[in-house]
Amino acid sequence: MGGQIYSHSLAAIVPEFWKEAPLERPIVEKRIWFLTKDSKVSLSHKNPAFGAPPFNSFTVLRAKFDKWFVQKAVQKGAFYIPETLVEDVIREGKGKIIGVKTGRTQGELFAPVVVAADGVNSLLSKNASLHAEISPQNVALAVKEIIAMPKERIQDLFDLSGDQGLTIEIMGEITRGMVGVGFIYTNLTTVSVGLGCILSDWVNYKISPYDLIEEMKNHPVVKPLLSGGKIREYLAHLIPEGGYNAIPPLYADGLLVVGDAAMMVNGLHQEGSNLAMTSGRLAAETIIEAHKSGDFSAGRLSRYKKLLEESYVMKDLKKYRNSYPYLEGNRQLFTIYPQIINDAATEIIRVDGVPKLVKQAKIISATFKKRNLWGLAKDAFSAWRAFR
Amino acid sequence: MNLEDKLFLDRYVVDEIPHLRIINLDKCAICKKQQCLYTCPAQCYKLEEGRVVVSYEGCLECGTCRIICDEYKNIEWKYPRGGFGICYKYG
């Protein structure tokens, strides 16, 4: 299930990919919405520079994008075997990994090194005993709909020129207090709409994803943007959001783990595909080096981890290592704060003969009613500690 | 649009071999939360005459059921065989 790919990490693999890849729209604007039951405060940044080479990010539909991407690998000499399920790793005795077992008859494949790039559910790295089952606190469950609309209508509704696109992240009412966000991404002739929340929250709040996505689409602020659209597809996917503290071992004798399989997602910034591409590239560089000596031991492959640590991948994951515990322990960010911001905005904007000084006092006292001074100070301090 | 109609839009190549299996039905009977019934985004788990039953055909292969069944670990979860399962047209 796709969303955005990032120019910086893809161009490092396929230079000037935008000339040939099946992309949807270059993203020139990002909006963040804070919603209550019926109102919103929107924060946005738009820069046309993002809409010209080398670009910043693009929306993609993975069914199309992945077909192109795999062909790029094939052109470089990769042997691609589609419609084949990898079931397990093959070990030499009880030791090093020397290949994989597939679902085909006589489907054993041998290789000096295996790269587990099998996504969030990585049964491969689990079978290789690198980690136990993921905990429900460490993944988000996202559901999404692809909604078709005429190109011009998308441009008008979202104030876009030509093929340029935007993304909207939505905090507040629509997750009913669960830790998570909603999103609207513009594609060329479709819009991707959905929301993702921490899996343990779906369980504890007893909320069904198919109910909540309907509720979101019917929110008075969201609904007008989707009117007249036709649902084309309904999707569900897990996003590994456990962060730095949940990263499994990244290498073993004859094995490397990359991307979602290695928990490489920066949920706060909605980044993941870039971390996956960069980790894949660094795994490849490690393997090329290892080929020179013919040594694929864990010791030699540990270079992969070192390269990751030197890159933005581990640095960013480390920076935000306390962000999930923080968000889980501070649910008021998803409930009380959007309400406070919206109420204040309404009060300031409404012209009703009340003197501004009185309005100001009203806003302050209403804010303190929802969260006292100590609470506000504590939130600010712990946010600084979690995100610095 | 309700969930059944949405799932009808998705394209599946249904395998005759189920890729989801409840390991021990007795455990579901004593499970208090039965969180699979409401968290599965394709509603593959339903109560029939008081018993939890699974229908794998509409599965979106997200992995939710396997991870949330953390008390009894009672769901055997595999991907469908190669060439089968959900085939997203958009993704």
8-state DSSP, B74: -
Average pLDDT over residues B9-34: 97
- Cβ contact, residue pair B67, A135, below 8 Å: yes
SS (H, E, C) chain A: CCCEEEHHHHHCCCCCHHHCCCCCCEEEEEEEEEECCCCEEEEEEECHHHHCCCCCEEECCHHHHHHHHHHHHHHCCCCCCCCCCEEEEEECCCCCEEEEEECCCCCEEECCCEEECCCCCCHHHHHCCCCCCCCCCCEEEEEEEEEECCHHHHHHHCCCCCCCEEEEEEEEHHHCCCCEEEEEEECCCEEEEEEEEEHHHHHHHCCCHHHHHHHHHCCCCCHHHHCCCEEEEEEEEEEECCCHHHCCCCEECCEEECHHHHCCCEHHHCECHHHHHHHHHHHHHHHHHHHHHCCCCHHHHCHHHHHHHHCHHHHHHHHCCCHHHHHHHCHHHCCHHHHHHHHHHHHHHCCCCCCHHHHHHHHHHHHHHHCCHHHHHHHHHHHHHHHC
The residue from A193, A219, A240 where one domain ends is A240
Alpha carbon distance A285, A304 (integer Å): 8
Whether residue A187 is predicted with pLDDT greater than 90 in this model: the reply is: yes
Expressed as residue numbers, the domain containing A256 is: 81-135+244-310
Within 8 A by CB and 6+ apart from A119, the residues are: A259, A260, A261
When the pLDDT of each residue in chain B is averaged and rounded to a whole number, the result is: 97
Tell me, what's the pLDDT at A234? 98
Tell me, what's the pLDDT at B16? 96
Indicate the pLDDT class of residue A111, thresholds 50, 70 and 90. Answer: very high
- Cβ contact, residue pair A233, B60, below 8 Å: no
The most confident of A125-129, A135-139, A320-324, by mean pLDDT: A135-139
Whether residue A252 is predicted with pLDDT greater than 80 in this model: the reply is: yes
Are A184 and A40 in a shared domain? yes
Of the listed ranges A192-201, A326-335, B75-84, the one predicted with least confidence:
A326-335
Q: Give yes or no for A210 touching B (CB within 8 A).
A: yes
pLDDT digits 0-9 by tens, A29-88: 999 999 999 999 999 999 999 999 999 999 999 999 999 999 999 999 999 999 999 999
Among A297, A305, A307, A259, residue whose Cα is nearest residue A112? A297
Average pLDDT over residues A9-18: 98
Are A131 and A267 in a shared domain? yes
A374 within a domain of the structure (yes/no): yes
Are A31 and A179 in a shared domain? yes
Among B23, B49, B84, B44, residue whose Cα is nearest residue A103? B84
Average pLDDT over residues A179-205: 98
Tell me, what's the pLDDT at A383? 87
Are A40 and A16 in a shared domain? yes
Are A108 and A222 in a shared domain? no
pLDDT digits 0-9 by tens, A132-151: 999 999 999 999 999 999 99
Alpha carbon distance A210, A9 (integer Å): 33
Whether residue A278 is predicted with pLDDT greater than 90 in this model: the reply is: yes
CA distance B58 to chain A (A): 11
When the pLDDT of each residue in chain A is averaged and rounded to a whole number, the result is: 96
Are A100 and A48 in a shared domain? no
Q: How much of chain A, in percent, has pLDDT values that exceed 70?
A: 99
Report the phi/psi class of residue A290: left, alpha or beta, with left for phi > 0 and alpha for psi in -120 to 50. alpha
Q: What residues of A are in contact with residue B10 (Cβ under 8 Å)?
A: 233-235
Measured on CA atoms in the order A349, A355, A357, A362, is the torsion positive or negative?
A: negative
Residue B69: CB atoms within 10 Å: 25
* Number of separate domains in chain A: 3
- In chain B, the domains with their CATH numbers are 3-79 (3.30.70.20)
Average pLDDT over residues B85-90: 97
Are A18 and A146 in a shared domain? yes
Whether residue A386 is predicted with pLDDT greater than 90 in this model: the reply is: no
Tell me, what's the pLDDT at A131? 87
A53 within a domain of the structure (yes/no): yes
Tell me, what's the pLDDT at A83? 95
Are A57 and A101 in a shared domain? no
Tell me, what's the pLDDT at A30? 97
Tell me, what's the pLDDT at A385? 87
Whether residue A2 is predicted with pLDDT greater than 80 in this model: the reply is: no
Tell me, what's the pLDDT at A309? 98
Q: To probe the interface with A, which of B31, B35, B43, B88 has the most A CB atoms within 10 Å?
A: B88
More reliable by pLDDT, A60 or A378: A60
Are A92 and A236 in a shared domain? no
Tell me, what's the pLDDT at A363? 95
Reported as type and span, the H/E element at residue B51 is: strand B51-54
Tell me, what's the pLDDT at A361? 96
- Cβ contact, residue pair B68, A203, below 8 Å: yes
Are A156 and A206 in a shared domain? yes
Q: Give yes or no for A260 touching B (CB within 8 A).
A: no
Alpha carbon distance A293, A290 (integer Å): 6
Are A260 and A170 in a shared domain? no
Q: What residues of B are in contact with residue A235 (Cβ under 8 Å)?
A: 10, 60, 88, 90-91
The residue from A206, A224, A240 where one domain ends is A240
Average pLDDT over residues A202-214: 98
Average pLDDT over residues A264-268: 94
Within 8 A by CB and 6+ apart from A297, the residues are: A96, A253
Residue type, A126: K
Tell me, what's the pLDDT at A347? 96
Indicate the pLDDT class of residue B38, thresholds 50, 70 and 90. Answer: very high
Indicate the pLDDT class of residue A94, thresholds 50, 70 and 90. Answer: confident
Are A379 and A263 in a shared domain? no
Contact A38, A26 (CB under 8 A): no
